[in-house]
Structure 1
Amino acid sequence: MNCPIAKFSPKAPVNDTNATVVMRVPQPLFNASLPMNPPHLMDRFEITVSSAIAARHLTEVNLGTIRYMGQQSASPPTVPLNGEPLAVELVNTTYIDGGLRGHRVDALTTTDQLTAWVADHADQFGSELSAALMGQACTPRTHKQFLSLRSALRSCLQSVVDDSAPSSEPLAIINEFSCYSASRLELSPADPVTVRTRWDVADPWLVALGIVASDVCKLLLPDRIDQVRACPAPGCILFFVKSHPRREWCSPVCGNRARVARHARSDRGRTVSDR
């Protein structure tokens, strides 16, 4: 594909030996060989460079050397499973799209995506906290803390399903953030008197962080811990809580995929035995 030179300012991770530079090219740069899209849409290209530092200083690139990715939607990735406890929901924002030969997707790569995720779980956070969250912007620091908690939760849940003891580092992260969920009830003068929740920390995003961390503590109580599952379907990395005695997969899609894989293995076994 031959395209004109496009100027851009990539933001590549400094520590990566190989960096993938993602750029969005406006419609006027397309030539006649590319599919034409509405003017408000952008098309996405990727180029892998050998040095991240070089990528940071790269100001122009011949589009003929890069891979055309096609039109990309501005909407965030759609997590394939919902309806689980908050802690599991956060862990499941990383998933595999496409099964065994698919690719890993992170649905929380930006502060906007985290804000959308919190809004989608307003019922679980409660109306009072959700209103406070929507009234205050999510900061990069808070975003980083949520990702740190997500990593700790995944490590902890994986240890649980493997029937092994979680390591101390993820437990320390969970316990540290869980402190932010501390609260008390207060009466407010009104007619009739109203009851409101007062949290020990003022930042609602820290409170939300604490509520998710506390949620996994409740999930791992003796009467619930045995219901925590990792989906056994090929290529799936999602967790779920076994809400029904016959539930074995995170979703019917994974159940179908597992049955297809089992049938394929059975066919291969019969072929070998017939030789």
Structure 2
Amino acid sequence: MKTTWAWLGDHLAVDFANTIKVVDNSTIELIGSVEEFHDWHEAEPADLPTVVLTSESLRDLRNLRDCALRLLHAACDDRTLPQADVATINEAIEIGGTLRLLGSAAGTSRLQSASEGGFDALAGLLAAAVVDLLAREDLANIAVCSAPSCGQFFHRARPNQMWCSPGCGNRARVDRHRHRRMDATGMARR
């Protein structure tokens, strides 16, 4: 089954972190092959350098993504950021020569790699996006969807938003209703 990447278009760090999905309490890798990465890269709206990945560089990219996941989870849970992951992200930015440049309008900016392209430039831009997101004042608006079989990061539109989409909200409500019915039925049998 081919992934459609329908949720892309959030902050680049969120899109990068969401290359995993949780289904039945198991993590599903959405960039498990070079081809799946290229599908994601093609669908991602952010301007990313073109790169031809090998199996080894894909492994390195997923390692960088896993660092981003741990950092985002720590930030969402208001925990101290794992220092090994901070070091990995910072190293990728330094190797990629990533810079933040002023955008064409006030209040805007863009990330650019000083490298000519390739894996280091891509990793540097993705790592810098993680730093950008974690340094934002509105970081409290980032949450993890609590719907069954999701676990994706999203930007809250309102403070009490628990799900990334209406579909996840419906799935969570149906699941909650099903559990209530099972509890009520189980209690009635006793």
Provide the TM-score with structure 2 as the length reference. 0.78
Give the alignment of 1:201-220 within 5 angstroms: 201-220=115-134
The reply on whether 1:234 has 2:148 as its aligned counterpart is yes
Match of 1:250 in 2: 164
The reply on whether 1:148 has 2:70 as its aligned counterpart is no
Cα displacement (A) at 1:201: 2.1
* One-letter amino acid matched to 1:265: H
Cα displacement (A) at 1:258: 1.1
The reply on whether 1:182 has 2:98 as its aligned counterpart is yes
Measured against aligned partners, the alpha-carbon deviations of 1:100-123 in whole angstroms (never above 9, x if no partner) come to 37x5421212222222221212x3
Q: What is the total number of aligned residue pairs between the two structures? A: 179
Give the alignment of 1:115-126 within 5 angstroms: 115-121=38-44, 123-125=45-47
Cα displacement (A) at 1:230: 0.8
Distance in 2 of aligned mates of 1:183 and 1:220: 16
Greater strand fraction, Structure 1 or Structure 2: 1
The reply on whether 1:92 has 2:18 as its aligned counterpart is yes
Distance in 2 of aligned mates of 1:248 and 1:184: 32
Cα displacement (A) at 1:150: 0.8
Q: State, as a whole percentage, how many aligned pairs show the same letter.
A: 27
CA contact (8 A) 1:81 1:251 kept: no
Cα displacement (A) at 1:202: 2.6
Match of 2:177 in 1: 263
* One-letter amino acid matched to 1:226: A
Measured against aligned partners, the alpha-carbon deviations of 1:21-73 in whole angstroms (never above 9, x if no partner) come to xxxxxxxxxxxxxxxxxxxxxxxxxxxxxxxxxxxxxxxxxxxxxxxxxxxx6
CA contact (8 A) 2:98 2:128 kept: no
SS in 2 for 1:137: coil
Match of 1:29 in 2: none
Distance in 2 of aligned mates of 1:230 and 1:94: 12
User: Highest relative contact order (Cα 8 Å, sep 6+), 1 or 2?
Assistant: 2
The root-mean-square deviation of aligned C-alpha atoms, in Å, is 2.8
Distance in 2 of aligned mates of 1:153 and 1:198: 19
Distance in 1 of aligned mates of 2:118 and 2:157: 30
Match of 1:112 in 2: 35
User: Judging changes above 3 Å, is the alpha-carbon distance between structure 1 residues 262 and 183 closer, same or farther for their aligned structure 2 residues?
Assistant: closer
Q: Which runs of 5+ in 2 are unaligned?
A: 102-110
User: Judging changes above 3 Å, is the alpha-carbon distance between structure 1 residues 167 and 203 closer, same or farther for their aligned structure 2 residues?
Assistant: same
Cα displacement (A) at 1:269: 4.6
Q: Which runs of 5+ in 1 are unaligned?
A: 1-72, 186-196
Cα displacement (A) at 1:207: 1.4
Cα displacement (A) at 1:181: 4.6
User: Judging changes above 3 Å, is the alpha-carbon distance between structure 1 residues 207 and 161 closer, same or farther for their aligned structure 2 residues?
Assistant: same
